[in-house]
């Protein structure tokens, strides 16, 4: 626990939301634990894929794990996490657009919800997933300040673009 906290977590006192992407039976959905408002939000772009009772069971298992994780003695310097009880939080199943049955975009939906929540509320009802969404998400992730390989990726992309443009000019 100490290793995880020291290497992968920020200051727990400033933690407001916990995003947990869940993969179950070939499908991604998202759990957002809002520590400020004591709400567990469930976002799912294809609710017909698995029975809700199975997903609710997984959600409860994740919440139990998070309770134990955050109440561990290695997080002792943050007393507000010692007696946290996510099971008492309000459960909110957000109404979100549904993907088609033949779509494989559930992972894009989850990534988009996690990424866009930095800028907009999760209650935004205007989400779409299309080619623009996929490219925008990829570009945003590449250009994010936390991406240590950002400069290398951009340099390689520019080099590749310039090479293709030169080939295109030579063919005309």
Give tens-digit pLDDT for 92-131: 888 777 878 888 888 888 888 877 665 455 555 556 677 8
**Residue 8 included in any domain:** yes
Residue 26 φ/ψ region, left for φ over 0, alpha for ψ in the -120 to 50 degree band, beta for the rest = left
**Domain-located, residue 70:** yes
Q: In this prediction, what percent of the chain has a pLDDT beyond 70?
A: 77
Average pLDDT over every residue of 24-30: 89
In this prediction, residue 50 has a pLDDT band, given cuts at 50, 70 and 90, of low
Give the total number of structural domains in the chain.
Answer: 1
User: Which CATH number fits the domain that encloses residue 24?
Assistant: 3.40.395.10
Does residue 169 sit within a domain? Answer: no
- Is 32 inside a domain boundary? yes
Is 35's pLDDT higher than 70? Answer: yes
Task: Kindly state whether residue 158 falls inside one of the protein's structural domains.
Answer: no
Q: Tell me which residue range forms the domain holding 28.
A: 1-98
Q: What is the mean pLDDT of the chain?
A: 80
pLDDT digits (tens, 9 = 90+) for 137-170: 788 888 888 889 999 998 998 999 999 999 888 8
Q: Is residue 88 part of a domain?
A: yes
pTM of the entire predicted model: 0.70
Residue 159: inside a domain, yes or no?
no
């Amino acid at each position: 626990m100490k290793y995880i906290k020291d290497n992968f977590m920020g200051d727990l006192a400033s933690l407001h939301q916990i995003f947990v992407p869940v993969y179950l039976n070939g499908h991604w959905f998202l759990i957002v634990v809002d520590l400020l408002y004591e709400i567990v939000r469930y976002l799912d772009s294809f609710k017909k894929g698995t029975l809700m009772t199975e997903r609710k069971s997984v959600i409860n298992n994740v919440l139990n794990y998070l309770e134990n994780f955050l109440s561990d003695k290695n997080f002792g310097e943050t007393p507000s996490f010692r007696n946290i009880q996510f099971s008492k939080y309000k459960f909110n199943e957000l109404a979100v657009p549904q993907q088609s049955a033949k779509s494989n975009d559930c992972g894009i939906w989850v990534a988009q919800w996690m990424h866009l929540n930095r800028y907009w509320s999760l209650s935004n009802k205007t989400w779409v997933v299309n080619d623009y969404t996929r490219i925008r998400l990829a570009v945003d992730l590449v250009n994010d300040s936390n991406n240590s390989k950002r400069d290398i990726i951009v340099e390689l992309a520019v080099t590749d673009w310039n090479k293709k443009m030169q080939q295109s000019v030579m063919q005309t």
